[in-house]
Amino acid sequence: MARLRVPGCVIDCAVVGDGPAVLLLHGWPQTGYAWRQVVPLLATRYTVVVPDLPGFGASSRMTGGYDKRSVAEVLHRLMLVLGFSRYHVVGHDVGGQVAYPLAALHRESVASLTFVEAGIPGLGDSLAAANPLTGGSWHFGFNMVPDLPEFLLSGRERGYLEFMFRRDSIGLYVSDAIREADLDVYARALAAPGAVRATMGYYRALPDDIEDNRGLCVAGPVTAPTLVVGARYGVGLGWLDTVEAAARDVSSCWVEECGHYVPEERPAELAGILMERWAA
């Protein structure tokens, strides 16, 4: 792991392997640790860059700037600091929300774009995903409330994460994919000073993201080959229409016997899907 300074932020980041560059973006409520089983498989052919997103893990917890467009700019600068002017981007969950503006703003740099259990807020039928009355997840609203999550979760971070991974309706299908020791890693990260505030910032920025994404979409579709990976027992392909609204060359696939946390539940299958796609 290395700590790399980019304007306005310090990013904790691992760089593993050799070959074309791949940027792996984790989701909420995790860190780059989520890719721990995928990285060795990809690193046989690729240089894999795995950051903790700003606000997560050991990266800077900024006072603001968690709209996905701003985060995307931080990550593009990170790749340039590392010497990569062109790279594949894979985003799981919130990482996928960051991946879209990254690809839309830096078209010459993004060789391909993959959404894993993710989509683009503000496009298609995405607002339904944040409304529990339409089958969406309750946590969008809870995480967006100012100050309350910080108050309620103080000292209870591990319990909240355990609920999200093991009891939520789109949690784990492979029940032992996140073990007690793994849960401890995520709990320590979320319990760090300022971490709840910072990570909830990704949800509190959603109104800005919606406006930004609609503007980027009007500017023209992403032309990089784009893949949407859905889990049978997770979000699935519920976000597919949002990606189809924003990208020109979109394909999709299912991961069977899997919940929302694909990189941890089915790492070998996900790595195979990605390498097959990049080799095409």
Predicted TM-score (pTM) of this structure: 0.97
Q: Are strands 2-6 and 226-231 parallel, antiparallel or unpaired?
A: unpaired
* CB of 174 closer than 8 Å to CB of 262: no
Q: How many residues does the chain have?
A: 280
Q: Other C-beta atoms within 10 Å of 254: how many?
A: 12
Angle of the 206-218 helix axis to the 68-81 helix axis, nearest 10:
70
pLDDT, tens only, 238-275: 999 999 999 999 999 999 999 999 999 999 999 999 99
Best CA proximity match to 92, nearest among 25, 31, 39, 182: 25
What is the distance, to the nearest Å, from the Cα of residue 51 to the centroid of all Cα atoms in its chain?
11
Fold of 2-279: Rossmann fold (3.40.50)
Mean pLDDT of the chain: 95
Mean pLDDT for 150-161 is: 97
* Helices and strands per DSSP (H, E), number in the chain: 12, 8
pLDDT, tens only, 86-126: 999 999 999 999 999 999 999 999 999 999 999 999 998 87
Domain locations along the chain = 2-279
- Residues involved in catalysis: 93, 203, 260
Task: Supply φ then ψ for residue 92, to 5 degrees.
Answer: -100, 135
Best CA proximity match to 229, nearest among 29, 38, 33: 38
Mean pLDDT for 20-26 is: 98
